[in-house]
Amino acid sequence: MWNEEIETMPREDIYELQLKKLQSTVKRAFDKIPYYNKKYSEANVFPEDIETLEDIEKLPFLTKDDLRACYPFGMFAVDKKEIIEVHSSSGTTGKPVVSGYTQNDIDNWGEIVARGLTMMGLDSDDIIQNTHGYGLFTGGFGVHYGAHRLGATIIPISTGQTRRQVEIMADFGTTCLIFTPSYGIYLGEVAKEEGIDFDKLGLKAIGFGAEMWTAEMRDRIEETFKTKAYNIYGLTELMGPGVGIECSAQNGLHIAEDFFYPEIINPKTGETLAEGKHGELVLTNLERESMPIIRFRTKDLTALHYDTCKCGRTLARMERITGRSDDMIKVKGVAIFPSQIEKALLKVSNIEPHYQIIVTRPDIMDEIEIKVEASASLFSDDIKEMMAVKRKIGEYIQNETGIAVNVSLVAPKSIPRSTKGKIQRVIDKRNLH
């Protein structure tokens, strides 16, 4: 699934292709979707105003609130009978976001993910064990369609059944595992308990995503499974997993720029930022029949690079997500992200990479507690050693975030594991409303 023409296209040609597709997408959205027609007309911008790629900045942003306002099918640009599949977000913060697909959209999705699996070194001989959830969540299906397009064998085992996962992995000769980072760590723990030797198993690649992670977390995963781990990025609103996938260089995720136009903006002002500057990722569908999403604010914080990659691809590279413009925790007036806590914890030995961040306000001041699992050997050790590790954790977190925290070492396996995808790292008990 190496598409040399697209993946090594000169930048000028990529921009020309994107402009043509953008103009077509904006016109279709304006003509076919009343919500866009009204939104653009009120902003006094029309399809004919898009003469250059920079003119995209004239278009208003789209947010989850816009998509919820169109619930369930108000963003569809085709007749409902052409929609062959529907997915949606969880809807935990209001009405869910619905994502519809035509057959052509599904084919394109498979093509994009298959390209990414190829970047990870996979081919039609591989056996891919997909632990991402199926159902309304897009995660499982993106990898599934990509594996089909690649001609690889897919094991659609979904989430949970962890000991069964380990058994299947060994019995079926799995060569690639797909998981969220937190579930991968847990899966590795269980595999170790079951006596699996990853040096002998022969995994070729790990594909992971759907959660925040740090370089230290990737190192832990690669060390456990004895293979390279590649980041996969996507979101329900634009399609699902596959918007960006890492290549062998592991130096950013290549965005499929013939299908998506990426921008980085200042999350406070909306101003477009230059290459290499960190800000909020904004994405636009360039070739989606069912529901073209234009200038969607992802809330994900990253940066883009356009120089040619070591792998030879010219497609834009997106840095790993370092936070979200809307999920920071403000404690004692300081903005921190869970990824900062994780980075500090993974530098400390004798603890497990399972933790919870608990924020409270017992009086007028915020307090933050980090619950961390001690290793079995540390937990059975003397109290002096445990106190020394607690102090070290506190120092590392303060160096990383600038604030002092309370650290609690808890028994091994006492923090809930991720068995169904994403895990809740932050428990905010403050009444901030």
318 and 360 share a domain?
no
Q: What is the mean pLDDT of residues 270-275?
A: 97
Q: Is the pLDDT of residue 35 over 50?
A: yes
237 and 383 share a domain?
no
Bond before 72 cis per omega within 30 degrees: yes
The single residue listed with the structure tokens 């603890």 is 351
8 Å CB contact between 106 and 84? yes
Model pLDDT, residue 188? 92
CATH of the domain at 389: 3.30.300.30
The residue out of 291, 326, 361 marking a domain boundary is 326
320 and 369 share a domain?
no
260 and 384 share a domain?
no
pLDDT classification of 222: cutoffs 50, 70, 90: very high
Q: How many helices (H) and strands (E) does the chain have?
A: 13, 21
CATH of the domain at 202: 3.40.50.12780
Q: What is d(CA 183, CA 196) in angstroms, rounded to the nearest whole number?
A: 17
264 and 377 share a domain?
no
In a domain, 41, yes or no: yes
The residue out of 326, 343, 364 marking a domain boundary is 326
Q: What is d(CA 372, CA 359) in angstroms, rounded to the nearest whole number?
A: 14
217 and 280 share a domain?
yes
Strands 296-302 and 279-285: antiparallel
User: Which H or E element spans position 2?
Assistant: none
Model pLDDT, residue 433? 46
Query: How does DSSP classify residue 72?
Result: T
Contact residues for 322 (Cβ-Cβ < 8 A; gap 6+): 278, 301, 302, 337, 339
197 and 253 share a domain?
yes
343 and 305 share a domain?
no
133 and 156 share a domain?
yes
274 and 366 share a domain?
no
Q: What is d(CA 331, CA 327) in angstroms, rounded to the nearest whole number?
A: 13
Q: Is the pLDDT of residue 293 over 50?
A: yes
In a domain, 433, yes or no: no
In a domain, 188, yes or no: yes
Q: Is the pLDDT of residue 423 over 80?
A: no
pLDDT classification of 263: cutoffs 50, 70, 90: very high
pLDDT classification of 287: cutoffs 50, 70, 90: very high
In a domain, 195, yes or no: yes
Q: What is the dihedral of CA 405, 408, 412, 418, to 10 degrees?
A: -50
pLDDT classification of 254: cutoffs 50, 70, 90: very high
Strands 98-101 and 153-155: unpaired
223 and 312 share a domain?
yes
In a domain, 165, yes or no: yes
Model pLDDT, residue 422? 67
348 and 275 share a domain?
no
Range of the domain at 418: 329-428
Q: What is the mean pLDDT of residues 235-261?
A: 96
Q: What is d(CA 397, CA 399) in angstroms, rounded to the nearest whole number?
A: 5
The residue out of 305, 326, 347 marking a domain boundary is 326
Q: Is the pLDDT of residue 163 over 50?
A: yes
CA angle 182, 186, 192 (to 5 degrees): 145
In a domain, 279, yes or no: yes
Question: How many domains does the chain divide into?
Answer: 2
Model pLDDT, residue 125? 98
In a domain, 12, yes or no: yes
Strands 127-130 and 176-179: parallel
In a domain, 211, yes or no: yes
User: Which H or E element spans position 163?
Assistant: helix 162-172
Select from 111, 115, 140, 137 the least CA-distant residue to 128: 140
